[in-house]
């Protein structure tokens, strides 16, 4: 069993829809949780970072962490074609030693 | 401010050859890591460093060596290339709060 399981997708949504992305994990020691966005043939870029349970909001993005269920989510509101990318969840018990999900590819249709 | 710089961007090696992937960061970050990315498997940690002179193995270290003689540089050496090492390699650095990734090196071993 992988330490981090990510819903594989792919997801295709119309512009303006809410995108919901999910990951589960097995290591209860994980306390740092991140979401990265990766455009085709580019390096991942950090979107959200949190180390506590609950919600964190940044503009159109909301990260949700439920440590009791070992489950994290990323919501993208009012999705735009520029949000079309692969989204990677990442987590670890140290924020410099991360385990990544396999990624979910999202396409936002104009 | 260049961030994380990886060279080369593309490389083709013959089985058995050795080479070094270069990584440099100009942000005075303490932590640096090497990941490989393969289709359907996400990012897997090869080696990481928590400071100059300190390195440790990640999830998939076999066939790779690293050293960290300065804060800025963290080269990855392939000892004897194998076709299974065909992948996209990403270097990343962090102080805390999530990694900044380079743009990657696409390596093909034939």
Q: Read off the pLDDT of residues B19-39 as tens digits, 9 standing for 90 and up.
A: 999 999 999 999 999 999 998
CB contact under 8 A, B101 and A97: no
As separate numbers, helices (DSSP H) first and strands (DSSP E) second, chain A gives: 0, 11
> Which residues lie closer than 8 Å to B93 by C-beta, 6 or more apart?
B4, B25, B27, B29, B31, B32, B33, B74, B99, B100
| Residue A15 distance to chain B (closest CA, Å) | 26
| Tens-place pLDDT, residues A36-78 | 999 999 999 999 998 888 999 999 999 999 999 999 999 999 9
CB contact under 8 A, A97 and B103: no
Q: Collect all residues of chain B within an 8 Å Cβ-Cβ radius of residue A45.
A: 101
Q: What is the model's pLDDT at position A17?
A: 98
Q: What is the model's pLDDT at position B1?
A: 62
| Tens-place pLDDT, residues B36-95 | 999 888 899 999 999 999 999 999 999 999 999 999 999 999 999 999 999 999 999 998
Q: What percent of chain A has pLDDT over 70?
A: 99
CB contact under 8 A, B43 and A88: yes
| B41 → closest Cβ in A42, A46, A102 | A102
């Amino acid at each position: 069993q992988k330490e981090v399981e990510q819903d594989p997708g792919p997801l295709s949504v119309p512009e303006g829809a809410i995108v919901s992305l999910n990951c589960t994990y097995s290591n209860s020691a994980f306390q740092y949780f991140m979401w990265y966005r990766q455009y085709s043939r580019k390096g991942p870029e950090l979107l959200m970072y949190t180390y506590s349970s609950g919600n964190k909001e940044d503009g159109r993005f909301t990260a949700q962490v439920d440590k009791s269920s070992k489950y994290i989510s990323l919501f993208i509101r009012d999705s735009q074609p520029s949000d079309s990318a692969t989204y990677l969840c990442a987590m670890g018990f140290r924020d410099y030693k991360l385990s990544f999900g396999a990624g979910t590819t999202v396409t936002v249709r104009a | 401010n260049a961030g994380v710089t990886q060279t080369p961007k593309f490389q083709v090696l013959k089985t058995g050859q050795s080479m070094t992937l270069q990584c440099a960061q100009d942000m005075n970050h303490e932590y640096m890591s090497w990941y490989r990315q393969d289709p359907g498997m996400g990012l897997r940690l090869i080696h990481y460093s928590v400071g100059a002179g300190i390195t440790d193995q990640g999830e998939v270290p076999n066939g790779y060596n690293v050293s960290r003689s300065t804060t800025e540089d963290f080269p990855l050496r392939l000892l004897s290339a194998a076709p299974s090492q065909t992948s996209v390699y990403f270097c990343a650095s962090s102080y805390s709060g999530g990694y900044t990734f380079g743009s990657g090196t696409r390596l093909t071993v034939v």
